Structure 1
Amino acid sequence: MQTFDQVIQSNASFIQKVVDFDVKYDRLLALDFTVANTELTDEILDDTDLFSDWVNKKLTENNARYGIGGYNEHRTIYSRSAHFDTGEEPRRLHLGVDIWGPAGTPVYNFYDATVQSFANNNNFGDYGATIILTYEIDGFKFNALYGHLSLSSLNGLEEGKFIPGGTKIAELGAKEENGYWPPHLHFQLIENMDGLKGDYPGVCRFSEREKYLANCPDPNLILKATFL
């Protein structure tokens, strides 16, 4: 049986964009949210507007359309929310790729899919509006979670609804509807949803890193096929 990597690589020509991007003119900026980024002070992280200003300044300074990154990144920024500090060990390891851009940025479905579930996870620091789609490519089934969307992105959805590849499915949400983050898309691949609907951990404890990474392949496998 083919691995996930092999399935995606052999079908790369059929995989479409997740966000608008022109490889000739647009640039991406890798954003680091580990302890190595000393620019992000507690004052900035504790204020979503200041945090957004920091992201926007970085994009402008580097003439970048989007900021991007985060898969398998051990992030300090989650200390801003108690949502990630339940239990003895805080959750800090990021399991998706973030695409940072303006609120209202369109988000697209990269391949034919059905709606697995959707929800408004409205805790501070959570996903806010969330859509999870199920895919099957060459017999390989998996899911993709799209988080931090606008609330209007959930309108008209129902579980099992077919969404053709290339369809606009959502827009990036403003802070009031995306879990109080600077506008961005959390894009995460998930092989087994473990019975969950409307939600799946996007950040895990470092001690559980291997288990979660095994279930959440690198989203760059999809994004590379579209615009990286």
Structure 2
Amino acid sequence: MTSHPLAGALDQYRESFSQVVPFDPGRDSLYRLDLTLQNSLLNEQIYTDTTLFSRWINEMLRAHGARYGIGGYAEHRDIYAKSDHFDASGEPRRLHLGVDIWGPAGTPVFNFYDAVVHSFADNNRNGDYGATIILKYELGGHAFHALYGHLNRAALAGLQKGGFVPAGKQIASLGVPQENGNWPPHLHFQLIIDMKGMAGDFPGVCRYSERDIFLANCPDPQVILSAGF
């Protein structure tokens, strides 16, 4: 699969990006969470119970001395079997299209670069994003979007389409399960080139058979996160 020209622009501007969540590289550490079937420590009993799943993530972070868990781009995950939101018809959706940052509810979420508000919504369904903000960016002649999902509901108050959001501004916090789609607290961070006419929402998980199409439209955001981490 050929990489999109946006990847080069992201790399060129990486030193200009602000952190997406607070992180001190001299003091804090990250733990790469594996949420695939290959991780024998994670099973259906855990991931189908939000309380147990949250406890499991917290224990993993504590055991590895990590402030956040991170990972998941292009990861094939069975955890989406917890909700029929991903099994509406035909082939189930299991391929994750963003990067997840797992941490305590209330953790601040910042905009990484100057942007405008594209759209926002409360996708209030079991397994969905809950509170969601999508910002639009222009970088090196390329327009693209970033979806911030599983936020606190209060972050949606006062937002206006087209409103300017400067780099480094706090846009939200990690939501609690009751407002983030019934997940352990985390940020779903996803880049999207073409929104396909959607607003306030975009698939964060796709069918494996559609992998190449979706990954071409949703490039790996790690270059943005690594600039802050």
TM over 0.5: yes
Q: Distance in 2 between matches of 1:167 and 1:211?
A: 32
**Is residue 2:203 matched to residue 1:201?**
yes
User: What's the secondary structure of 1:208's corresponding residue?
Assistant: helix
3-state DSSP of counterpart to 1:221: helix
C-alpha separation in 1, matches of 2:111 and 2:47: 31
TM-score between both structures, scaled by the size of structure 2: 0.97
**Partner residue of 2:67 out of 57, 65, 68:** 65
Q: Partners in 2 of 1:207 and 1:43 — Cα distance?
A: 27
2:190 is aligned, of 188, 191, 199, to: 188
Match 1:116 to one of 111, 115, 118:
118
Alignment RMSD, CA only? 0.9
1:1-228 aligned at under 5 Å gives the runs 3-227=5-229
Separation (CA, whole Å) in 2 of partners of 1:185 and 1:13:
22
C-alpha separation in 1, matches of 2:14 and 2:49: 40
Tell me by how many angstroms 1:38 deviates.
Answer: 2.1
Give the residue type in structure 1 aligned to 2:54: S
Post-superposition CA distance 1:33-75 (Å, at most 9, x none): 1111122222212210110000000001111000000000000
5+ residue gaps in structure 1?
A: none
Gaps of 5+ in 2: none
Q: How many pairs does the alignment contain?
A: 226
Partner deviation per Cα, 1:70-105 (whole Å, 9 max, x = no partner)? 000000100111100111100000000000000000
TM-score by length of 1: 0.97
Q: Which runs of 4+ in 1 moved over 3 A?
A: none
Which residue type is aligned with residue 144 of structure 1? Answer: A
SS at match of 2:211: helix
